[in-house]
């Protein structure tokens, strides 16, 4: 064979290779990269499709409209009548700044984008019917949400209130917040604010829990018969040269577990932690859903019990009283309180009660589900009684409600800001809990009992009135 | 006979069917379509069908070339019509002229003898065109490679492409045209240099690739091919470091997302289109290819991917692959040395040009603007492609190969 045809064939092979590489690259692109790329904010297609569909309404559990859209000459406008009050729950849907909150996580439902039914699409096209999105009914109680907002006004922090038996969220507030109707005007201010108003502190804020964590240490101690239940408190204790102090260095003297919780005794709890060891403490914390993802209608962060970072005895002692490297989300702590009130059954939190089609047909419901049994019913019953005593005569006295038995636990968490966070978690009425709550006030430099407990009390009163 | 006329197995009829379905979809999904559209659609179908019919009567060469072109051109016209109805209408007009020039090129090339003797004329004509572009060139999309004559913009480089192939072929028939071997290199690089000056990077790359591949097959000085490659790499490196618009191409290829609102806008919009098509596409008329700047010319492939899906895109790639295969097969069977090289040259022009722009819009290689032959909008490009195809059609027939015996290996 001549050299010329040989070379021609070689070149042909190269050409074939080039074209096949195009096919391979294109397929690779479609399979592995396309999905990610499509979501880019510069892809205008996302918006064009939306313009043609009237975005669905969002209402609270009693039918108050929280967000709705109206047609205009060119497109539609989204209205948020309660502005800042729902900045973190509903979020926003903006061409310039994307989507957040339920507007983002329920985008498909709000636009009624189902898994493509071409025949329906064809029919719609023929009949030229206007496309409408689905509506969301939330578990939120609007009055309670407004009230909780007022209570947190001017402070930084979060409140999460929920139904302990079903996991339905009644109110969820995070401060500072922003006005979703005025994103354009305020955007630079919002993103440059060092307090990150866009962050939903309720589900994503990670805080040092301080003494509220003691309910978890107490659970572990009650489960373990070998852990001592009597302690000698001198106001401070030295663990391998590291001194742990009680609040105000008060010496509690000889106390049992209940009194230790009622008085929030650091000396007693750190000793319990040392006796329990980090593995047992971690196991209990994980039953309370630490280190695990909470599947929720909004994005969440995991509470952290960092077993690998707890190396020395001082680390362990600090962890047992909720200091050190432990971090929790307010939502998770509200779920902790709720599970204790609910005989140890931790329920999956629900925010969207129902998705309704424009015609009013139910498309989806928020299913009530148990996440975890945090401990045995006996242990939980004892713990519940102790938490009632905390409010009756201990650090949580400011959460007392006339004629209603309230259970709770306070926390004053030291953190890297030098100013302590104030915590309160609790539920009421203790014998038949209707509401569980977590309140955290960020860097307020006051104790949980003096600042967080009264807020929790007021919200619980309001909730019990509403739920009568 | 009649049964054959309506059989779905005849490729021409398949083409008619495909066109009819796609045109129906456009009519259905675009509210702005009127009677002109129906007339345009019917003329498109008729043009392709009848010219196929005519070709079968007059040429005994390769009939697949024209069918492949028919498919490509149909996809192109449909997409262009769907994006810009008035451009679509114009493109159908150009298609008419294109088919006319195909047959003219076919007849002239076939009847005239001694094409291999005009080396100097090819060069001279090319240089005149280049210089005219430099003097009277109009700047369009950053490249000064258009001339405006009597209200029409046309791209001289589209004609020069064919002249270049003829020049290479006539040179390599004997490889003894120039006494001084360097003359040939100087001429080749002046072609590429002119394109470079016009900022037509895609064109420069295309010419170089065709030249180096032909040289690989035919050049007797094997070492020179390596020298050329080394020289070209040096030039490429130099341009990357010192010429801004070359650098921009590379940067937007490596990471267009960083410059999404400026330099990278076009390519990222193209990627969005391809990504949103999925495997089966949104359906003709249902996507938004109009978001891509220049979608009807350089980025037509992205529009095809969006609305006809990756499978539609792969089909286009495969059509080019078959076109290249047919072209090389023609070259392998052709006894006439000059037309053998011309067949290779033209096929490579189609093949490399398709690869450069297809790879570019999907970000496999840096993006350099060239049109997608037969598919992109544009009169000069379409007519040049049709003339090339007409010449390839001649090459696919049995020609007098006497000259081969005189100077064969």
Torsion, Cα of B50, B56, B57, B60 (10° steps): 160
Beta bridge pairs of residue A370: A347
Q: What is the pLDDT of residue A124?
A: 61
Instruction: Note whether A117 contacts B: Cβ–Cβ < 8 A.
Output: no
The conformational region for residue A167 under phi > 0 = left, psi -120 to 50 = alpha, else beta, is left
Cα separation, B324 vs B344, in Å, equals: 9
Q: What is the pLDDT of residue A206?
A: 96
CB contact under 8 A, A19 and B331: no
Q: What is the pLDDT of residue A26?
A: 95
Q: Which residues of A touch B348 (CB under 8 A)?
A: 11
Q: What is the pLDDT of residue A419?
A: 93
Q: What is the pLDDT of residue B405?
A: 43
pLDDT in tens for each of the 468 residues of chain A?
A: 588 899 999 999 999 999 999 999 999 999 998 888 887 777 877 777 677 788 999 999 999 999 999 888 777 889 999 999 999 999 998 877 778 899 988 988 888 865 455 566 566 655 656 678 899 999 999 999 999 999 999 999 999 999 999 999 999 999 999 999 998 888 888 888 889 999 999 999 999 999 999 999 999 999 998 888 888 888 888 888 888 888 888 888 899 999 999 999 999 999 999 999 999 999 999 999 999 999 999 999 999 999 999 989 999 999 999 999 999 999 999 999 999 999 999 999 999 999 998 888 898 899 999 999 999 999 999 999 999 999 999 999 999 999 999 999 999 999 988 899 999 999 999 999 999 999 999 999 999 999 999 999 999 999 999 887
Q: Which residues of A touch B351 (CB under 8 A)?
A: 15, 18-19
Mean pLDDT is lowest, of A293-297, A391-395, B117-121, B280-284, for: B280-284
Give the B-side interface with A, CB within 8 Å.
29, 213, 216-218, 257, 260-261, 265, 268-269, 271-272, 274-276, 278-279, 287-288, 291, 305, 310, 313-314, 317-318, 320-321, 324-325, 328, 331-332, 344, 348, 351, 355, 358-359, 362, 364, 409
CB contact under 8 A, B355 and A12: no
Residue B130 reports pLDDT greater than 80: yes
Q: What is the pLDDT of residue B408?
A: 41
Instruction: Note whether A44 contacts B: Cβ–Cβ < 8 A.
Output: yes
Mean pLDDT over B159-170 rounds to: 95
Instruction: Note whether A5 contacts B: Cβ–Cβ < 8 A.
Output: yes
CB contact under 8 A, A3 and B409: yes
Residue B409 reports pLDDT greater than 60: no
Residue B404 reports pLDDT greater than 50: no
Q: What is the pLDDT of residue A117?
A: 54
A237-246, B11-20, B345-354: which has the highest mean pLDDT? B345-354
CB contact under 8 A, B355 and A19: yes
Torsion, Cα of B294, B299, B303, B306 (10° steps): -120
Among A11, A42, A48, the residue with its CB nearest the CB of B268 is A42
What would the pLDDT profile of B319-340 be if each residue is shown by its tens digit? 999 999 999 999 999 999 999 9
Cis amide prior to B402 (ω within 30 degrees): no
Specify whether domain A159-350+372-467 bears CATH 3.40.710.10: yes
The conformational region for residue A356 under phi > 0 = left, psi -120 to 50 = alpha, else beta, is beta
CB contact under 8 A, B217 and A8: yes
Q: Which residues of A touch B324 (CB under 8 A)?
A: 12, 15-16, 19
Q: What is the pLDDT of residue A222?
A: 94
Q: What is the pLDDT of residue A246?
A: 87
Instruction: Note whether A115 contacts B: Cβ–Cβ < 8 A.
Output: no
ipTM: 0.93
Q: Which residues of A touch B278 (CB under 8 A)?
A: 30, 34
Q: What is the pLDDT of residue A123?
A: 62
Q: What is the pLDDT of residue A73?
A: 77
Cα separation, A307 vs A279, in Å, equals: 8
Q: How many CB atoms are closer than 10 A to CB A6?
A: 11
Q: What is the pLDDT of residue A127?
A: 60
CB contact under 8 A, A30 and B310: yes
Instruction: Note whether A48 contacts B: Cβ–Cβ < 8 A.
Output: yes
What is the residue extent of each domain of chain B? 1-112+243-409, 114-242
CB contact under 8 A, B321 and A19: yes
Instruction: Note whether A8 contacts B: Cβ–Cβ < 8 A.
Output: yes
Query: In this structure, are residues B178 and B401 in contact, taking their beta carbons and an 8 Å threshold?
Result: no
Mean pLDDT over B91-112 rounds to: 94
CB contact under 8 A, B325 and A16: yes
CB contact under 8 A, A5 and B332: yes
Torsion, Cα of B20, B26, B32, B36 (10° steps): -20
Q: Which residues of A touch B291 (CB under 8 A)?
A: 44-45
Q: Which residues of A touch B362 (CB under 8 A)?
A: 22, 25-26, 29
What are the tokens at A163?
């139904």
pLDDT bracket for residue B407 (50, 70, 90) = very low
- Reference A228, options A199, A206, A260; nearest CA is A260
Q: Which residues of B touch A33 (CB under 8 A)?
A: 275
Which of B302, B364, B366 has the most A C-beta neighbours within 10 Å, making it the best mutation to test the interface with A?
Answer: B364
Which of B275, B293, B333, B356 has the most A C-beta neighbours within 10 Å, making it the best mutation to test the interface with A?
Answer: B275
Is the dihedral angle over the CA atoms B234, B239, B241, B242 positive or is it negative? positive
Q: For residue A125, give how far its alpha carbon lies from the nearest alpha carbon of chain B (Å).
A: 8
């Amino acid at each position: 064979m001549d050299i010329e045809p040989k070379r021609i064939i070689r070149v042909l092979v190269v050409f074939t290779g080039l074209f096949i590489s195009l096919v391979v690259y294109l397929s690779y692109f479609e399979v592995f990269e396309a999905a990610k790329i499509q979501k880019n904010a510069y892809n205008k297609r996302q918006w064009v499709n939306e313009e043609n569909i009237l975005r669905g309404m969002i209402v609270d559990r009693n039918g108050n409209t929280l967000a709705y859209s109206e047609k205009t000459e060119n497109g539609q406008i989204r209205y948020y009548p309660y502005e800042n009050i729902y900045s973190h729950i509903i979020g926003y849907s903006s061409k310039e700044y994307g989507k957040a909150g339920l507007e983002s996580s329920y985008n498909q439902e709000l636009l009624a984008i189902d898994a493509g039914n071409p025949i329906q699409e064809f029919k719609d096209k023929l009949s030229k019917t206007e496309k409408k999105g689905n509506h969301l009914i939330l578990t939120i109680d609007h009055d309670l949400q407004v009230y909780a907002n007022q209570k947190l006004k001017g402070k930084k922090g979060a409140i999460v209130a929920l139904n302990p038996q079903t996991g339905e969220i009644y109110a969820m507030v995070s401060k500072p917040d922003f006005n979703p109707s005025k994103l354009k005007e305020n955007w630079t201010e919002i993103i440059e604010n060092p307090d990150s108003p866009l962050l939903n502190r309720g589900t994503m804020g990670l805080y040092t829990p301080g003494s509220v964590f003691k309910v978890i240490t107490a659970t572990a101690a009650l489960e373990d018969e070998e852990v001592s239940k009597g302690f000698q408190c001198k106001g401070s204790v030295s663990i391998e040269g590291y001194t742990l102090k009680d609040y105000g260095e008060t010496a509690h003297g000889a106390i049992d577990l209940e009194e230790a919780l009622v008085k929030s005794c650091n000396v007693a709890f750190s000793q319990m932690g040392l006796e329990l060891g980090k593995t047992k403490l971690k196991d209990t914390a994980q039953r309370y859903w630490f280190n695990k993802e909470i599947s929720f209608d909004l994005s969440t962060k995991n509470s952290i019990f960092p077993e690998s970072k707890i190396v020395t005895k001082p680390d362990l002692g600090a962890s047992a009283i909720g200091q050190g490297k432990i971090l929790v989300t307010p939502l998770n702590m509200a779920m902790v309180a709720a599970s204790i009130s609910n005989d140890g059954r931790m329920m999956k939190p629900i925010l969207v009660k129902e998705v309704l089609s424009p015609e009013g047909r139910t498309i989806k419901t928020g299913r009530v589900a148990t996440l975890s049994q945090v401990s045995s019913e006996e242990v939980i019953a004892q713990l519940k009684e102790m938490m009632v005593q905390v409010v009756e005569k201990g650090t949580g006295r400011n959460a007392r409600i006339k004629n209603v038995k309230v259970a709770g636990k306070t926390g004053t968490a030291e953190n890297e800001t030098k100013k302590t966070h104030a915590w309160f978690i609790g539920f009421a009425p203790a014998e038949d809990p209707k509401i569980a709550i977590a309140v955290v006030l960020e860097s307020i430099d006051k104790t949980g009992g003096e600042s967080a407990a009264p807020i929790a009390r007021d919200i619980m009163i309001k909730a019990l009135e509403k739920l009568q | 006979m009649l049964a054959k006329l309506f059989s779905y197995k005849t490729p021409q009829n398949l083409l008619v069917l495909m066109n009819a379905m796609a045109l129906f979809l456009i009519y259905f999904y675009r509210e702005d379509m009127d009677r002109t559209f129906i007339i345009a659609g019917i003329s498109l179908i008729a043009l392709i069908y009848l010219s196929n019919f005519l070709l079968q009567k007059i040429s005994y060469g390769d009939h697949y070339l024209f069918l492949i072109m028919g498919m490509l051109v149909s996809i192109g016209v449909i997409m262009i019509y769907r994006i810009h109805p008035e451009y679509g209408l114009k493109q159908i007009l150009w298609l008419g002229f294109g088919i006319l020039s195909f047959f003219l090129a076919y007849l002239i090339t076939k009847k005239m003898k001694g094409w291999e003797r005009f080396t100097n004329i090819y060069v001279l004509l090319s240089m005149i065109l280049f210089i005219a572009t430099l003097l009277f060139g109009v700047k369009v999309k950053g490249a000064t490679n258009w001339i405006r004559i009597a209200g029409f913009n046309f791209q001289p480089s589209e004609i020069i492409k064919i002249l270049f192939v003829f020049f290479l072929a006539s040179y390599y028939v004997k490889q003894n045209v120039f006494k001084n071997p360097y003359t040939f290199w100087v001429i080749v690089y002046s072609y590429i240099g002119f394109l470079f000056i016009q900022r037509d990077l895609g064109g420069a790359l295309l010419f170089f690739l065709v030249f180096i591949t032909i040289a690989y097959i035919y050049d007797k000085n094997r070492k020179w091919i390596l020298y050329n490659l080394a020289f070209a790499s040096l030039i490429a490196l130099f341009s990357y470091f010192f010429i801004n618009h070359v650098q921009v191409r590379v940067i937007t290829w490596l990471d267009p997302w960083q410059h999404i609102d400026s330099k990278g806008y076009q390519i990222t919009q193209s990627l969005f289109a391809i990504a949103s098509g999925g495997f089966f596409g949104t359906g003709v008329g249902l996507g938004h290819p109009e978001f891509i700047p220049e979608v009807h010319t350089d980025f037509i492939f992205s529009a095809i991917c969006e609305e006809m899906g990756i499978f539609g895109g792969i089909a286009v790639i495969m059509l080019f692959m078959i076109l290249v295969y047919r072209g090389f097969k023609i070259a392998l069977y052709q006894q006439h040395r000059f037309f053998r090289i011309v067949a290779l040259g033209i096929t490579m022009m189609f093949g490399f040009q398709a690869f450069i722009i297809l790879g570019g819009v999907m970000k496999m290689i840096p993006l350099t603007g060239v049109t997608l032959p037969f598919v992109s909008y544009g009169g000069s490009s379409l007519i040049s492609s049709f003339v090339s195809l007409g010449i390839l059609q001649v090459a696919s027939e049995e020609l007098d190969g006497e000259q081969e015996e005189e100077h064969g290996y």
